[in-house]
Amino acid sequence: MRYAVVTGSTKGIGKAIAEKLLREGWFVFINYAKDDKNAEEFAETHKELKNRFKIIKCELSSYDNAKAFVKEILDNATCIDCLVLNSAVTDKSPFEEITKEKWEYVMNTNVNVPFYITQGLFNNIPKDKGRIIFIGSICGVFPHAQSLAYGVSKAAIHQMVKELVKFFEPKRITVNAVIPSFVKTPWQSTKQPDHRKRIEDKIALHRFATPEEIASLCWEIINNQYINGANIRIDGGYCYC
């Protein structure tokens, strides 16, 4: 049995990745922060596979929570073959209204905690076959007016992937980032039709990605032994038209 951890995985991109891994026969640690309803629906939908996943409720926005999350994982598994760091938050406050608390909440959740989790599981990711995948964002590539903190945090993730490669090199564990543009997730569902149309007009394929398309790319990375230190955009040709 191979074991995976996917943060933020009861909806959206994380859910699609977790479901792909389950279909492929993996044991998956599922994580969510607050939404019990989605977690219950995930458990019910996949009840025939209940022996191959464990749902952990933990808001991954602080060092202490990251440590508790890692402990619960290691209480249930000694080897983690794949770590997918997907959980993220945003803040759309105008520049002048960004508070210390709002800024640090985004940075802690999107940058610091993924680092702490990776560090905490370092000795439990197997040599030669371990995979670490960070979910980045096109907002960390192109400036995006909606959330300064989110864009900066995702740009930091893209760089952290490159930096981490040298630390995992002795164990030949690959570290990569998948960089989606706009995906059909609950996060995007509140966008007004005219706003959505403006975004689609910037995408050469003129549509948002599906979560399953992002999961498919993650699966390809998991099965490829030579992709390493890469920031891989999956954006439908965003800003190319």
User: 214 phi and psi, to 5 degrees?
Assistant: -70, -40
CB 6 within 8 A of CB 14: yes
Question: Could you read off the pLDDT tens digit of each residue along the chain, which spans 241 residues?
Answer: 999 999 999 999 999 999 999 999 999 999 999 999 999 999 999 999 999 999 999 999 999 999 999 999 999 999 999 999 999 999 999 999 999 999 999 999 999 999 999 999 999 999 999 999 999 999 999 987 679 999 999 999 999 999 999 999 999 999 999 999 989 987 676 767 887 888 888 889 999 999 999 999 999 999 999 999 999 999 999 877 5
The alpha carbon dihedral of 87, 46, 29, 161 has a sign of negative
The token pair at 238 is 């965003």
Q: Which of 26, 12, 193 is nearest to 90 (CA)?
A: 12
What the chain holds in terms of domains, given with CATH numbers, is 3-184+210-234 (3.40.50.720)
